[in-house]
A and B are shown apart, each in its own frame.
Chain A
Amino acid sequence: MSESLFSKKNRKLITDPLTDNNPVTIQVLGICSALAITVQVNQAIVMGLSVIFVTMMGNVVISMLRNLIPSRIRIIVQLVVVAALVIVVDQVLAAFLPDLSAKLSVFVGLIITNCIIMGRLEAFAMANKPWPSLLDGFGNGLGYAGLLVLVAVFRELFGSGTLLGFTIFGNSLPGEESGLYAMGYTNNNMMILPPMALIIVGVIIWVQRLRNKELQEDH
């Protein structure tokens, strides 16, 4: 092998999608199936891990097959590979985390049509060797998972006053308030509603583009 496994170029494949080439906020991919499950951090983490697994494995498989796939039917081939991987994820979740699996309901299945996966397969795995494809899949999956968890942290912390199910601001039960609630703080119920996920992503995009002027659009 001419270059080491973690050369600078390969490391960049992982770090880029985390910030300036984030799949969600910059490439505008994969918002579809994921924002409805950011009410709680643990759901977001499980969803993020599932997506990381599928992007990594999908990238590797397609990259190994890339010289065998006729370009006319490549979309179907990609869909079948991704669907098979998602079935594995879904069955594992249903077996080991049945409660969470029920909460995620159709959104695990919707990983199949998550544009990040198809986008990376099409843009990267079809033209690169398996190892860089694995790193690219991992990086993009991580960028996506990171954003999901960030949104979920805001929504869970301000919506229900907990993180990963642990209370942060004290007891909010009426009659036995403690911590911040004793001082008159109340949870923002708005945060639990689905539309707030979009507004939070909008604000994250705002902050990101405020810091990096190159990313700003004309209109």
Chain B
Amino acid sequence: MESTLDIFVKSIFSENMIFAYFLGMCSYLAVSKTVKTAVGLGAAVIFVLTVTVPVNYLLENYLLKAGALSWLGEEYTDYDLSFLSFIMFIAVVASIVQLVEMLVEKFAPALYGALGIFLPLIAVNCSILGGALFMQERQYSTLFDATAFAFGSGIGWFIAIVAIAAIREKIRYSHIPAPLRGLGITFILTGLMGIAFMSFMGIKYGKEVKKEKAQTVQTSQLTTAKTQE
């Protein structure tokens, strides 16, 4: 199994929500005109992902997965409700976003002022539902791993939107061909940043490093054995 730290780093860099899977592109393109609003939306995404993915993880493992209902008793072990997962996940996301919005408004008015307008947008942000669906597909073994994945993905999304917002603020002063201005150049820039982020795929994670070490030890033993012969 991958360690929790591996999952965390991987979800920030080599499996970045925007640059590797293009999730949450709508709000990414719409709210990246200035760094300030980008920071607000990015923070809201980190927050909502870190809250919703663990809840959906529990839902998946104790309600939806094949055999997940076995805690209710013997006769429930054959139930497979996974076809309901889309509707459950989106309901959880929408209601948690609503709940979070109300709580933040009541207890942290300053934060609400900063995040408020972005929270309703987030219910239909692909990266949130995407987080839940990737969590389901990859079958993380513990709640902790799933949370680490959600938090890392949120940070990855945050980095991406703040970076593109900073570039878009500066690019206003450059002479871009008129048809490319605005949307066109943003797409191309995101593509180029995606290519840059692909270099993170070269990161070696715990398991692979160990395997490689084991291999080199084996080959060196072989060579010494051969030379002795």
Chain A residues in the interface with B (C-beta under 8 A) = 25, 28-36, 75-76, 79-80, 83-84, 86-87, 90-91, 105-106, 109-110, 112-115, 118, 193-199, 201-203, 205-210, 213, 216-219
Contacts and interface: CB of A to CB of B under 8 A. Distances in A.
A33 B195 contact: no
A112 B86 contact: yes
Contacts of B84: 87
A207 B179 CA distance: 8
Contact of A90 (B21, B26, B86): B86
B187 interface: yes
B225 to A, nearest CB: 35
Q: What is the predominant secondary structure among interface residues of chain B facing chain A?
A: helix
Interface stretch (B40-48, B130-138, B142-150): B130-138
B24 A205 contact: no
A87 B134 CA distance: 17
Contacts, number: 152
Interface in B174-229: 177-188, 190-195, 198
A98 to B, nearest CB: 15
B22 interface: yes
Interface of B: 19-26, 29-30, 83-87, 89-91, 94, 120, 123-126, 128-130, 133-134, 136-137, 172, 177-188, 190-195, 198
A201 to B, nearest CB: 5
Contacts of B192: 195, 199
A163 B66 CA distance: 38
A29 B24 CA distance: 11
Contact of A216 (B23, B120, B181): B181
A110 B188 contact: no
B98 to A, nearest CB: 8
B133 to A, nearest CB: 4
B137 A198 contact: no
A198 B191 contact: yes
